[in-house]
Chain A
């Protein structure tokens, strides 16, 4: 009898220890993720401004006014275009560059390129944005000076509604590329050389080796990185805040920046929260779709 109680006591202590160790993370997760998420949904059903003491319950009014607003439609399409452009270009470039860097030729040069390409990742987005704000200046920016020197006409970059969103996307790609290249290179290095040797013995052309062997074998990493990149693009804020402030003509206004403006500029937390819920739904749906696609396309070992 004594033996079993002693055992269950140590067992209980062992369990308690487990809960105690997990507690800090769980508590923080609740305070900073779960609670705000619930509050976001709750607050989106109320009107009032930031200092209203008892905001009025308005039901889905915030949602209907958002969905009727032309500006919001543009914000949604801006966000989708921005995400599509950054994710697709980042993934394609990252895979191509990683495959190139992973080849065994020019090891010195590859290391240099790898360092150069990764460095932007460790610089803060605000610094990068400020830098590109100067570089992309339509009159005195270094990029246009270079273009002019090469005999091309000046490019408007951030000054025109037609090119501003792409210019911002370009900065994001430039900054994020190194990180994704690194992840994909790690995946490439996990492919055993003997598989490539087998392909060589099978007389496989280089392109076919890439599409039939390399790409399927790194597909789990490509899925992971594209999900991460998609969510990051949906959340873009600092570069827009620094470089364009959503302009010109609302052309670079994206969801998170819109939420920020409604909450803290226009003092309409109800609408901001409703937009936040819509963002949440978007991210959920897109991630779900990515995972569904992956079921047939991604190969796990």
Chain B
């Protein structure tokens, strides 16, 4: 169990600066997910914490110990790689045992730990197989077992589920959450998939272009985005932004599931026509043509295609963003401005 802190961390490759100045606190025992589009620096950040990547500046602390010059194997960190990185010439048992023999752990202790871990991940009957003779899901489990058996202070995972099929991925997500609960160790997890981030994390670090955009719990991140980028990154379809109508280049945002297909009282009402309709089962996604552009709507109401409706959005579910895309408070003044532009509440 331990906390991690990155202070003024820089990373550049030659002249190309990947991370300019990163400050990050990872709470002890948390399941922290670094999420962002590819190339945003999340994997680099993870690799700098593990020590596989050197820092161009700044410091990294694990439990208040500066680890900049500590080699990866001595940081008491385990890592699960995207492609698993199993040792292909070794059996499952040897793969799991390898790190323990390096740490000179006595044989009985090794045997005990291996059988414990294999029990947990369900590998007991595959111990003598080579990785080549395992399925993708089983290899994933070997990678997890290899990481767990070392009983590290921190558990790192770099897109560990991206090579699995959709069904297995959902299943492994649940297993990882359980694993975290049982072990109580700090988990640091990298993914580009917002669904993975939202479903597993208790702390999400949203990154873009080498910077942290927002760090908060999944609920907070979803309901309280601090800028347009966050608002649009989480949730599907992405948050609607109406741009170009409000004064001072302010922008109005609201989530598709907050769009009503009927007039609302405390909000705005806009005439719209249904353009397309995607049936998802429990919900339907509509794209609505409005005088202010296309608005996406997620609703349980089943409407006919090509019908004219009045689209309503309540004030309480609106986000107001400034010209610089940063979130603004939605005060009475803002409410008045929005009403004036988009038409006030219906009578």
Which A residues have a C-beta under 8 Å from some C-beta of B?
192, 194-195, 197-205, 208, 212-213, 216-217, 219, 299, 301
Contacts and interface: CB of A to CB of B under 8 A. Distances in A.
Interface string B49-63: 011100000000000
29 contacts: A194-B81, A194-B82, A195-B88, A197-B52, A197-B72, A198-B79, A198-B86, A198-B87, A200-B51, A200-B72, A200-B73, A201-B52, A201-B77, A201-B79, A202-B102, A202-B150, A203-B71, A203-B72, A203-B74, A205-B102, A208-B102, A212-B90, A212-B98, A213-B87, A213-B89, A216-B89, A217-B89, A299-B88, A299-B89
A contact patch SS: helix
B85 A200 contact: no
A192 B88 CA distance: 11
Contacts of B86: 195, 198
B99 interface: yes
Given A216-B89, A299-B89, A204 B52 contact: no
Contacts of B77: 201
B240 interface: no
Contacts of B74: 203
Contacts of B78: 201
B88 A203 contact: no
Nearest to B52: A197
A198 B85 contact: yes
A202 B98 contact: yes
A201 B72 contact: yes
Contacts, number: 68
B83 interface: yes
Interface residues of B, number: 26
B132 interface: yes
A204 B98 contact: yes
Contacts of B83: 192, 194
B73 A202 contact: yes
B103 interface: yes
A201 B50 contact: yes
A299 to B, nearest CB: 4
A195 B88 CA distance: 9
A198 B74 CA distance: 13
Contacts of A205: 102
A198 B81 contact: yes
Of the candidates A194, A198, A216, A301, the one having the most CB atoms from chain B within 10 angstroms of its own CB is A198
Contacts of A204: 73, 98-99, 102
Contacts of A213: 87, 89
Contacts of A217: 88-89
A202 B81 contact: no
Contact of B103 (A197, A199, A203): A203
B52 A301 contact: no
A200 B71 contact: yes
Contacts of A208: 102
Contacts of B82: 194
Contacts of B87: 195, 198-199, 212-213
Of the candidates B52, B146, B150, the one having the most CB atoms from chain A within 10 angstroms of its own CB is B52
A192 B87 CA distance: 10
Given A201-B73, A205-B102, A194 B85 contact: yes
B102 to A, nearest CB: 5
Contacts of A198: 79, 81, 85-87, 146
Given A197-B52, A197-B81, A202 B89 contact: no
A200 to B, nearest CB: 5
B69 to A, nearest CB: 15
A202 B99 contact: yes
A202 B52 CA distance: 12
B202 to A, nearest CB: 25
Contacts of A197: 52, 72, 79, 81, 85
A203 B85 contact: no
Contacts of B81: 194, 197-198
Contacts of B52: 197, 200-201
Interface string B276-309: 0000000000000000000000000000000000
A202 B87 CA distance: 11
Contact of B85 (A195, A212, A216, A219): A195
A203 B132 contact: no
A208 B72 CA distance: 16
Interface in B211-268: none
Contacts of B102: 202-205, 208
A298 to B, nearest CB: 10
Contacts of A203: 71-74, 99, 102-103
Contacts of B72: 197, 200-201, 203
A194 B79 CA distance: 11
B60 to A, nearest CB: 16
Contacts of A202: 73, 98-99, 102, 146, 150
B132 A301 contact: yes
A219 B90 CA distance: 13
A62 B150 CA distance: 68
Contacts of A301: 88, 132
A198 B77 CA distance: 11
Interface string B32-46: 000000000000000
B155 to A, nearest CB: 11
A203 B261 CA distance: 60
